[in-house]
Amino acid sequence: MKLLYGGVCAAQGFLASGVHCGIRKNKQKKDLALIYSETRAACASVYTTNKVKGAPLTVTKNNISDGYAQAVICNSGNANTCNANGIEVAEQTCALIANELNINPKDVVVASTGVIGQPLDITPIKNGINALVKSLGDNKSADAAEGIMTTDTRLKEIAVSFEIGGVECKMGGIAKGSGMIHPNMATMLVFITTDCKISPEMLQLALSTDIKKTFNMVSVDGDTSTNDMVSVLANGKAGNEEITTQGEAFDTFMEALNTVTVNLCQKIAGDGEGATKRIDCEVSGAIDEENAKIIAKSVICSSLVKAAMFGSDANWGRVLCAIGYSGAEVDVNKVKVSFVSEFGEVVVCENGAGVDFSEELAKVVLSCYEVTIKVELGDGDGEATAWGCDLTYDYVKINGDYRT
C-alpha cells in the first residue's frame, strides 16, 4: 500500500473540477464540484440515518439502484433539504450535468451541503454547468474538494495504490466535514474513486462493512446531519480480474478502502468546527468489538471530555464517567486510562482508580494537536478507535451565526 498524490483523480479514467457558480455569496469560494468517470462505473453509497433526509439523497438512491454511475455533482452553500421542490431541483441538476457530459441522468450521484430549509435556486447551477465541465482535468481533485467545503478550514483528500492479482490499482477520495458530525454518518460528504474492477454487489458490501469502523466512529458535536453520504465509484480501468466474491482480492480491496477512509476520518475530526486538537480514543481489552465501539464513541462524544481536552486538563474522571454511562458491558475495576501524544504518555488511572502522575507532564502531553486517550479494559480481545476533537469557544461562535 503506497500513498499517492491526486485524490479522486489518482485512479485511471477519473477527472474532476470545481467552480464558483453563485450559490455562495463569497465569489472566492468554489461552490460546485464534479467528479467524472470516462466510463460507466460500479457505484455504492451509504447515507445518513437521520429520518429527515436531503432531497439529493433520495434522488441518488433511486439513480444508482442498478449499482452504476458515471458522475458525481455536488453543490455547497445550500443543503436542498426540507424544500417543497427539493426533489425537482436535484433531478434538474442531474439532467443538466448529464446533458453536458452526454450521459444518462440516472448515472449521476447528486449531493448538496449547507444551510437546511433554504430554497435552492437552480439558476446558478444551470449557469455554472458549462464552466464546470470545461474545467474537468486529471489534476483537479483539490478544486472538487474545495467545491464541497462549508465551514471546513482545510482540504481533505488522499490517494493510495495497491495490487490485485499482480495488477496495480489506485484509489482516492475527497471529503468535507467540520460540524454537525456524529455517528452514524455525520455531516460529511465523501466521494471515493478507484480503477479497480469490482462488482457493484461486492463494492456495496465493502463500503457498508468499512463504515462501521470508520465514518460511524467520528463525532465532532453530537449532531447527525440530513445530507451525509459516502459514495464510491469503481470503473475497472486498472484491468484486474473482477472481484465478485470474498477472498484474498476482496481483502486487499478492503485494506485499501480502509486506508483511505481512516485518513479521511482523521482529517474530518481534526477539522471540527473551532477545534484546536484532534482527539482519538483507542479502546482495547473489551469483551468484544461492539462493546469497544460503544465505549470509544461514548468517550469521544462526551462534552466534558472534549472541554477538558481543550483546556489540556487531565481530568480522567470524565473519561471514566463516559465509560460508565456508555451502556457497554465493562468491569470498571479493571479500567486503565492514559493520555498519549508526540510529547509523551502519562498514565492517570489503573484498576478503575486514580494514580499519582505529574500534572505538569500531563499538561505538556495534552497540549499537542493530536492526542490519544488510551482505554485498556482487561475484559477480552475487543478493540475499536473513535475520532473526535476538543470543544472550544469558537464552535459556539461559528454556529451562533452560521445561517445569518
The string of DSSP codes covering 177-210 is -SSS--SSS-S-EEEEEE---B-HHHHHHHHHHH
Angstrom distance (rounded) from CA 140 to CA 10? 10
Backbone angles phi, psi at 261, to 5 degrees: -70, -40
Beta-strand relationship, 167-176 and 157-164: antiparallel
Cell digits of residue 147: 467545491
The number of C-alpha atoms within 13 Å of 48 and in the hemisphere containing its C-beta is: 25
83 and 149, same domain (yes or no): yes
Cell numbers 439558476 correspond to what residue?
Answer: 123
- Residue 28, judged by CB atoms within 10 A of its CB (0-12, 13-18, 19+), counts as exposed
254 and 296, same domain (yes or no): no
313 and 340, same domain (yes or no): yes
The H-or-E segment that residue 265 falls in is: helix 248-270
Which is nearest to 277 in space by CA: 258, 296, 305? Answer: 305
Tell me which of 223, 251, 270 is where a domain ends.
270
Angstrom distance (rounded) from CA 230 to CA 74? 12
Angstrom distance (rounded) from CA 274 to CA 147? 21
Q: What pLDDT does 56 receive?
A: 93
Amino acid at residue number 265 = C
Report DSSP state, residue 121.
-
Q: What pLDDT does 258 receive?
A: 97
Q: Spell 39-75 as b/e; 16+ CB within 10 A means b.
A: ebbbbbbbbbebeebbbbbbbbeebbeeebbbbbbbb
Which is nearest to 238 in space by CA: 71, 12, 36? Answer: 12
Tell me which of 250, 270, 290 is where a domain ends.
270
56 and 160, same domain (yes or no): yes
Q: What is the CATH number of the domain that holds 97?
A: 3.60.70.12
Domain extent for 322: 278-400
247 and 220, same domain (yes or no): yes
Q: From first to last of the 404 residues of the chain, give the pLDDT tens digit.
A: 899 999 999 999 999 999 999 999 888 899 999 999 999 999 999 998 777 888 999 999 999 999 999 999 999 999 998 888 999 999 999 999 999 999 999 999 999 998 888 899 999 999 999 999 999 999 999 999 999 998 888 899 999 999 999 999 999 999 997 544 444 555 689 999 999 999 999 999 999 999 999 998 987 655 566 778 999 999 999 999 999 999 999 999 999 999 999 999 999 888 877 788 999 999 999 999 999 999 999 999 999 999 999 999 999 999 999 999 999 999 999 999 999 999 999 999 999 999 999 999 999 999 999 999 999 999 999 999 999 988 888 777 777 776 66
Q: What is the CATH number of the domain that holds 339?
A: 3.10.20.340
Angstrom distance (rounded) from CA 110 to CA 90? 7
> Could you give the number of structural domains in the chain?
2
Catalytic residue status for 187: yes
143 and 258, same domain (yes or no): yes
Q: What pLDDT does 182 receive?
A: 47
256 and 283, same domain (yes or no): no
Active-site residue among 48, 187, 193, 259?
187
How many Cβ atoms are within 10 Å of 2's Cβ, its own excluded?
A: 11
54 and 148, same domain (yes or no): yes
260 and 283, same domain (yes or no): no
Pair 40, 107: CB distance under 8 Å: yes
Tell me which of 270, 286, 321 is where a domain ends.
270
pTM above 0.75, yes or no: yes
137 and 156, same domain (yes or no): yes
Strand-pair partners of 113: 76, 78
Angstrom distance (rounded) from CA 294 to CA 328? 6
